[in-house]
Amino acid sequence: MPLTPSASVLPLDPEGILAYAARSMFHLFSSISQGMFLVDRSGRIVWVNEGYKRFLPALGVASADEFVGRMVEDVIPNTQMREVLETGQPILVDLLTNRAGTFVVSRIPLHAEQAATANGGLGEVIGAIGIVLFDHPETTLKPLISKFAMLQRDLDDARRELAAQRAHALLQTSPDGQRRAKYSFASFIGSSPAAVDVKRHARRAARLSSPVLLLGETGTGKELLAHAIHAASARAAGPFVSINIAAVPDTLLEAEFFGVAPGAYTGADRRGRDGKFKLADGGTLFLDEIGDMPLSLQAKLLRALQEGEIEPLGSNKLVGFDARVIAATSRDLSALVREGRFREDLYYRLNVLPLRVPPLRERRSDIAALVEALGEDVAQRSGETPPELMPDALALLGAQHWRGNIRELRNVLEQLSMRSDSARIDANEVKRVLGETGLEKIDALKSAEPAAADGETVKLLRPLSQQIAELEQRAIAAAMASTSGNKLAAARLLGISRATLYDRMG
């Protein structure tokens, strides 16, 4: 149909002009858009133009004949066409992301002409038009996206400043400086099976009053979980007091635990000083790195836990206390018991509710979420804009061994933030920072990269989940080989349960 009326049909009456304009606009949108389709009142696709057909393979549809006649939700994930049909209101500009990519789209309802009201209102909805305006918005709308990104950065800066002001205000109004939990279960980032499982057991522990023993490598988030257990417990209104046993000299530990009576020794405070047990009265006492406690103090700790009372240094009086104990260690307490370096009776007293916190290499699918959360925190503390890690950079981080776990990941992100000039960080930048900081790069990553004809390695651009699955299978195969097929020994070597090993082996 021609887009301009011939001389033989001019002039047109108002209704003719309106009908002609409608037909012209339809054909114009069909020709200049990246794709267009029509649905009827029920949401069934009734027509598709040539431009839209190129998206069909990515949507899992073999041909236009297979596309037409299907319900729109069944073939176009995340579409909002149903909302347009039900409300009769257009969605003129929107971003749609699905298997075919990210698009700028319009959705326009079609109204029955004969049902229009006499005052010019719209009639009943009889269908809708879906239009793909741009199929590469990051290129086509680059100026607009840049402006939006700048506004978003300004908003993030304002939010960080407001959060800092609120934190300062809370600190100023905190009654008598009482210690409170800093974290909740929402602070333990991750939706992997390992992360979900440890949070489920920790929530159960929060409902009980027995001692909790957190086991796991350094940097896995044991202290964060201790805060969260306290915050979700019946003692949440009480103090949360922590002590890192490894950081206190052995000669001072007893005073730190039980306090000092007035004038107990030369140079002691005349008023005395309360120990951590007394400070935690009514709340929770967190004993970090309990495996480093000297044997000489373990007997006194056991008695305090059993009797619920302490004897301050230099005093002859017993002082009662009511504190729930959460202990944590990165060491193998059962091995220390066998070696005679940790009291067996104290071990059983603490090991009532054991909770193993998984290392980062067992929850690699959480790394992207951790990168985002840690990056925001690093940016908030430094006042800089959080860096954006490209997919290949995330893939490289996901392949690391992470001996220092989340603490090491945070360090790498801080290094990237300080050392990188660009706001967008790719794999080459990550490799450079890892090399400069001396952090270990996983050997399996190099062996997994195919060599190019000129001897240089080709960037790894496969999905991260696929790379992780391959790394897991190689690790399992190596563990099985080194243990001569003994699944229990292989599971222990890998630091996972036998059930998890069976599950990963398929």
Rounded to an integer, the average pLDDT of 176-181 is: 62
User: How far apart, in whole angstroms, are the C-alpha atoms of residue 147 and residue 88?
Assistant: 31
Rounded to an integer, the average pLDDT of 58-62 is: 88
Torsion of CA 326, 328, 332, 336, to 10 degrees: -70
Nearest 5°: CA angle at 258, between 252 and 264? 70
Q: Is the pLDDT of residue 242 over 50?
A: yes
3-state SS assignment for residue 399: coil
- What is residue 464's predicted lDDT score, i.e. its pLDDT? 58
Q: Is the pLDDT of residue 276 over 60?
A: yes
User: How far apart, in whole angstroms, are the C-alpha atoms of residue 28 and residue 489?
Assistant: 69
Nearest 5°: CA angle at 190, between 187 and 196? 100
Among the listed residues 362, 297, 296, 290, the one whose alpha carbon sits nearest the alpha carbon of residue 331: 290
- What is residue 173's predicted lDDT score, i.e. its pLDDT? 40
The answer to whether 429 and 420 have CB atoms below 8 angstroms apart is: yes
302-335: pLDDT as tens digits: 999 998 888 888 777 888 889 999 999 999 999 9
Question: Token pair of 338, please?
Answer: 């066998």
The CB density around residue 240, as the number of other CB atoms within 10 Å, is 25
Q: Is the pLDDT of residue 267 over 60?
A: no
User: How far apart, in whole angstroms, are the C-alpha atoms of residue 24 and residue 260?
Assistant: 91
Question: Token pair of 239, please?
Answer: 């103090």
Q: Which helix (H) or strand (E) holds 328?
A: strand 324-329
User: How far apart, in whole angstroms, are the C-alpha atoms of residue 316 and residue 297?
Assistant: 18
7-31: pLDDT as tens digits: 444 556 777 777 777 777 788 888 8
pLDDT grade for 60, boundaries at 50, 70 and 90: confident
The answer to whether 244 and 287 have CB atoms below 8 angstroms apart is: no
Q: Is the pLDDT of residue 225 over 90?
A: yes
> Higher pLDDT residue, 220 or 315?
220
Number of H helices and E strands in the chain, helices first, is: 22, 14
Q: Is the pLDDT of residue 273 over 90?
A: no
Q: Is the pLDDT of residue 391 over 80?
A: yes
Looking at the chain, the whole-number percentage of residues with pLDDT higher than 70 is 78
Question: Token pair of 114, please?
Answer: 């004969």
The amino acid present at 115, given as its one-letter code, is: A
DSSP category for residue 449: S
pTM over 0.85: no
Question: For the chain, what percentages of helix, strand and coil (3-state, to nearest 5) are there?
Answer: 50, 15, 35
Q: Is the pLDDT of residue 451 over 60?
A: no
The answer to whether 325 and 281 have CB atoms below 8 angstroms apart is: no
74-106: pLDDT as tens digits: 999 889 999 999 999 999 888 888 878 888 899
Looking at the chain, the whole-number percentage of residues with pLDDT higher than 90 is 34
The per-residue b/e assignment along 425-458, b for 16 or more CB within 10 angstroms, e otherwise, is bbbebbeebbeeeebeebebbeebeeeeeeeeee
Please, what is the average pLDDT of the chain?
Answer: 80
- What is residue 1's predicted lDDT score, i.e. its pLDDT? 42
HSE value, Cβ hemisphere, 13 Å, CA-based, for 128: 27
Q: Which helix (H) or strand (E) holds 269?
A: none
Among the listed residues 285, 208, 278, the one whose alpha carbon sits nearest the alpha carbon of residue 240: 285
Question: Token pair of 414, please?
Answer: 């801080």
pLDDT grade for 442, boundaries at 50, 70 and 90: very low
3-state SS assignment for residue 243: strand
Q: What are phi and psi of 35, to 5 degrees?
A: 175, 155
Question: Token pair of 398, please?
Answer: 């996901």
DSSP category for residue 313: B
Rounded to an integer, the average pLDDT of 462-482 is: 70
- What is residue 434's predicted lDDT score, i.e. its pLDDT? 81
List helix spans (H) across 295-442: 295-307, 333-338, 344-350, 367-382, 391-398, 405-419, 427-437
Between the alpha carbon of residue 58 and those of residues 55, 120, 228, 277, the distances in Å are 6, 42, 44, 63
Q: Is the peptide bond before 312 cis (omega within 30 degrees of 0)?
A: no
Among the listed residues 197, 153, 102, 140, the one whose alpha carbon sits nearest the alpha carbon of residue 497: 197
Q: Is the pLDDT of residue 262 over 90?
A: no
407-417: pLDDT as tens digits: 999 988 888 88
Q: Which long-range contacts (CB under 8 A, 24 or more apart) does 55-62 make?
A: 55/100, 55/101, 55/132, 55/135, 58/99, 58/100, 58/101, 59/98, 59/99, 59/100, 60/99
Over the Cα atoms of the chain, what is R_g?
A: 32
pLDDT grade for 134, boundaries at 50, 70 and 90: confident
Q: What are phi and psi of 18, to 5 degrees?
A: -60, -45
